[in-house]
Amino acid sequence: MQTPDTPVDEAPSVFDSHCSARDALELIASKWTMLILPALASAPMRNGALLRRIDGISQKMLTQTLRDLERNGLVIRDDRQTVPPHVEYRLSQLGQSLSRTLTILDTWAEQNFPALDRAKERYDQQHSVKRNR
């Protein structure tokens, strides 16, 4: 985002506090976004199917996150206007492009969580020893 003091030839940067890309990073960095988008990558899903697929998410957080994703153009809400209600969520083209990136991050986390857990254990052991001196 350009501010009065930003030189005209300088591109927007996430390091600039006024850059709206920070809002995008905040949305993307949500653990629920990082799970919902890849879950929707294979096919549209209804609310209940998403709740079953994403263990630990509450109905409130799922609804809130889906609304944020829809508002930002990443998810499309398809209300079939039927009785009983039939609503499906699917990725927009923009959401599909982001989902590919998030799937890579999810895979990295699944492959590397043991190393991260070991590092935390070592750190905690080292720092608990120092605190007990």
For residue 126, what is the domain's CATH number?
A: 1.10.10.10
84 three-state secondary structure = coil
Residue 12 inside a domain? The answer is no
| pLDDT, averaged across the chain | 90
Pairwise CA distance, residues 27 & 21, whole Å: 10
Specify if 120 maps to a domain. yes
The answer to whether the predicted template modeling score (pTM) of the entire model surpasses 0.85 is: no
Tens digit of pLDDT for each residue in 95-119?
Answer: 999 999 999 999 999 999 999 999 9
Residue 11: pLDDT band (50, 70, 90) is confident
Asked if residue 113 is part of any domain, the answer here is yes
User: Which residue is it, tokens 């905040």?
Assistant: 26
Quick check: 33 and 67 in contact, CB under 8 A? no
Range of the domain at 121: 21-131
Q: What pLDDT is stored for residue 80 in this prediction?
A: 92
Domain tally, the chain: 1
Do the domain assignments include residue 66? yes
